[in-house]
Chain A
Amino acid sequence: MTVTTFKPDSVTQAADAVRWALSEGTPLDVAGSGSKRGLGRPIQTACTLDLSGLSGVVAYEAEELVLTARAGTPMAEILPMLAERRQQLAFEPQDLGPLLGQPEGQGTLGGVISCGLAGPRRISAGSARDHTLGIEGVNGRGDLYKGGGKVVKNVTGYDVPKLMAGSFGTLTVLTELTVKVLPAPEDVRTLLLAGREDAAAVAALTAALQSPYDVSGAAHLPAAVAARSHVRPVVAVGGAVTLVRVEGFGPSVTARVAALKEELGADAVLDREESRAVWKEVRDVAFFCPHTPTLVCPHPNPPPLGGGGDHSPSPASAGEGRGGGQDTRHVWKISVQPSEGPRVAESIRWALDAELYFDWGGGLIWAAVAPTPDSATAIRGALGTAGHATLVRAPEDVRSAAEVFQPLPDPVMALSRRVKESFDPCGILNPGRMYAGV
């Protein structure tokens, strides 16, 4: 239970708070805006270190492709700034706030990088770690240090910034980050394939990703999930929907869409706005959001395309675990080799009451499962040894009892503990957030 919250407004103060915690032997709950506090293992600390006061873009040089910002800078400030110069964070950072029952657009840059959250473009542009160039922060010894650099190409010393991405604040209190920024695509279209079974859909996605047409999104929504979309042409299919995204310069998009449509036998092409809307849903796992004003399930039997004209969303048809429009199911993120996606999905469906969809060409499965005590065992059993599964949403008591992150093989776990100690020898930074003792 948190008693005290430190909210430093300078790096020196942040370092001082860590030194104080170290001297008191008091662990800190290290947080940005706290929008993703529901992600990871719950931790009990007497003190919170709230970094939202360390906010602001320090330098943004579009032509140099780098942006440096203090860790607590809201994404809501950074993204429009990039958009104004027609740039973006190419890893397509997820906004998991709504999935975790928080408002949209609350996250900070430090939080996005610390949680390593990348969206559909992960398959072509890489993850958060691939765009983290430099960091400054306070380690668990209270030392302010820096790692990496502020240029796009750098191999000087160990790549400490990579280690920070996805470390959930357990290694260092990040105070400043330098990230790579890239041109935003001028245009986007999405090919839609209707009514494919999982295996056939993943085969189509594989063909798309093997083509020379630079596909930047490859997802498959089985019928039940597609029905939860609020993008009309997706819902209108009334069955499973397979999506292939093409982005870039206008003439290039046109040519590639034409070629892919032919090769894949696509049924429809989503326009720019529809594309943006559906990929945002895929990115933020909107289909499993507990309740948001915009995300309401469509009619169970949607009207055919062009019919109706009713733009207002209809009330949710409460499914299993969605009593009163509240989706309380546990949500898992499962990363596997793409060709194994359909098999793993089938095993999960066989073992559990699960609804799921595929991203990353079949290599990422998002699954919403009805709460049962043994779901972690079933999911990880379906996975086997290749890949990893993370329990992204579940009540606190469940996340306390289950392994939220994929259990690591003994030698990797032992090394991870030593790496943790090398940054935070007394275990005062988010202890136990990822693994017990880490």
Chain B
Amino acid sequence: MRMPAPDDGVIARRREIIAALRAIVPGEGVIADESELRAYECDGLTAYRQLPMVVVLPSTVEQVSRVLRTCKAMGVKVVPRGAGTSLSGGALPLADGVLLGMGKFNRILDIDFANRCVVTQPGVTNLGISTAVAHEGFYYAPDPSSQIACTIGGNIAENSGGVHCLKYGLTTNNVLGLEMVLMDGTILRLGGKHLDAGGYDLMGVVTGSEGLLGVVTEVTVRILRKPATARAVLIGFPTSEQGGDCVAAIIAAGIIPGGMEMMDKPAIHAAEDFVHAGYPLDVEALLIVELDGPAAEVDHLIDQVAEIARSKGCCYSRVSTSEEERLSFWAGRKAAFPAVGRISPDYYCMDGTIPRKALPLVLHRMQEMSDRYALRVANVFHAGDGNLHPLILYDANKPGELERAEAFGNDILRLCVEVGGVLTGEHGVGVEKRDLMTDQFDEVDLDQQQRIKCAFDPDGLLNPGKVFPKLHRCAELGRVHIHKGELRFPDIPRF
């Protein structure tokens, strides 16, 4: 993976650029000292590191606007950053770029229970929103596992998901409004407390754009009343096929569980050794199905789920009878990543989505790859929506293992695309999957996406080097090639 070559001309003007930023954001809001810059050298994808040229931490939308306008005028690239928890390198700095940290935008502006929404600055954490409305029994539904640390602004950039998104949607399904700043300093408001924005759904394309289209400075999200109750059932199967069949049968019965997670044997063992959740160790696949909602509904459905599991040949089944027991079911799953971290010096977390029916094939092929690359793999799986998180175990201190792990991971993602799925279900493309984009999209597809980028940021200064494997100039993409009078199929029916 290579980032665009740094522009020495820009680096040579570093002092001038820092002075210009200091004129906008005074005092400690501009960081230029190398030891302090170190804190920003990577995000959650720690395999890639790069010191930014300078960090700027604005605290008002006007400052964000002036910083972007100034950087555009000076031809300087900008990388926006929330809490830096991206697992795909979305906030990886550039040697010749300004890192724009949004951490000072940390206030909730308006809690509106009557309209069931919260207006917040983007640096507020995902969990912070839920906490702020918990006293009235509300919460913000998308719950990425980094929710203690990740910010709502970062969630917008990545269109973050979580365990509950099959039933409650991704970030994009829970955002009502945005205020954002374009690279030329223009401040825009899209949507609001009402439903649907007028005109094009620009908010829809900004959400999940990985910081390439604009910098979000304010967010309006919808909040939901907490489900009255939640119960879970833990189900073990002798084969992963049966586990997959059970998931399909639950959905075919019209049940959309609040959460439906699957783990394979290596993941079960790692989790059980770590947190002693009471998982059965003699099963090939373990399913956690959580039902939430009114008590009458949950009680009605939990029996149905247990019955479906029996009909699909489960060899283990336990229904939670208390809140403690329900949480213990989740304890292992939630600790799966650190648990794998205990049994291996390093691990690499992948994030493809597949049509669920392809699960047995994908697991089988993954095992073959595991043998070929001589690296172990453990799988946790958002089974309801087909989002697979294979964890590849490796040791970065052994020469060549990181490269092998990456090659293995790339093969897994190509396999996801091959069976009809996609490269990333919730972590984003970033730098990590950038060079695989051509496996999912052809050049025409990617050109159209880059033309959207041109509409927002014609100079390509915002977060370049992420998402798209090849950078085109907007002028080149904008050319229209017309072949006069060409009609290869003159037989189109016409009237």
Contact = CB atoms under 8 A, between A and B. Distances in A.
B356 A64 contact: yes
A96 to B, nearest CB: 15
A130 B482 CA distance: 35
B200 A153 contact: no
Given A8-B493, A145-B448, A415-B182, A335 B426 contact: no
B115 interface: yes
A159 B182 contact: no
A7 B495 contact: yes
A151 B426 contact: no
A176 B444 CA distance: 16
- Most chain B CB within a 10 A radius of its CB, from A20, A130, A414: A20
B143 to A, nearest CB: 14
B484 A183 contact: no
Contacts of B125: none
B225 A116 contact: no
Given A160-B449, A163-B205, A411 B455 contact: no
Contacts of A66: 355
B193 interface: yes
A4 interface: yes
Contacts of A337: 115, 192-194
Given A167-B200, A412-B188, A155 B492 contact: no
Of listed A86, A145, A154, residue having the most chain B CB within 10 A: A154
A401 interface: no
A411 B187 contact: yes
A252 B294 contact: yes
B292 to A, nearest CB: 10
Interface residues of A, number: 108
Contacts of A425: 478, 480
Contacts of A259: 294
A195 to B, nearest CB: 23
Interface string B51-83: 000000000000000000000000000000000
A435 B200 CA distance: 11
Most buried by B among A64, A158, A165: A158
A57 interface: no
A70 interface: no
Nearest to A419: B455
Contact of B467 (A9, A24, A157): A157
A156 B357 contact: no
B199 A156 contact: no
Contact of A6 (B158, B226, B446, B494): B494
Contacts of A210: 113, 116, 225
Given A155-B208, A212-B225, A363-B194, A146 B445 contact: yes
Given A16-B488, A146-B445, A415-B202, A153 B296 contact: no
Given A155-B208, A212-B226, A415-B455, A405 B199 contact: yes
B173 A130 contact: yes
B444 A183 contact: no
B449 A158 contact: yes
B476 interface: no
Given A127-B195, A153-B353, A163-B201, A20 B486 contact: yes
A432 interface: no
Contacts of A17: 492
Nearest to B187: A411
Nearest to B136: A210
A334 to B, nearest CB: 9
Interface string B256-299: 10000000000000000000000000000000000001111101
Q: In terms of DSSP, what is the predominant structure of the interface of chain A?
A: mixed
Contact of B204 (A129, A171, A414, A434): A129
Interface string B208-237: 110000000000000001111000000000
B448 A63 contact: no
B372 to A, nearest CB: 26
Interface in B456-485: 456, 467, 478, 480-485
B202 A363 contact: no
A141 B158 CA distance: 29
A255 B448 contact: no
A155 B159 contact: yes
A254 interface: yes
A143 B479 CA distance: 13
A421 B425 contact: no
Nearest to B252: A63
Contacts of A222: none
Contacts of B429: 155-157
A19 B208 CA distance: 31
Contacts of A249: 254, 297, 300-301
Given A386-B193, A386-B194, A388-B198, A147 B492 contact: no
A-B complex: 5 closest residue pairs judged by Cβ atoms: A162-B204, A252-B297, A255-B296, A388-B198, A183-B254
Interface of B: 112-116, 137, 158-159, 161, 165-166, 169-170, 172-173, 182, 186-190, 192-202, 204-205, 207-209, 225-228, 248-249, 251-252, 254-256, 293-297, 299-301, 353-357, 382, 385-387, 420-429, 433, 437, 440-442, 444-449, 451-456, 467, 478, 480-489, 491-495
14 contacts: A8-B492, A13-B489, A16-B492, A19-B486, A22-B482, A66-B355, A145-B447, A153-B165, A153-B426, A212-B225, A337-B115, A338-B116, A405-B199, A434-B199
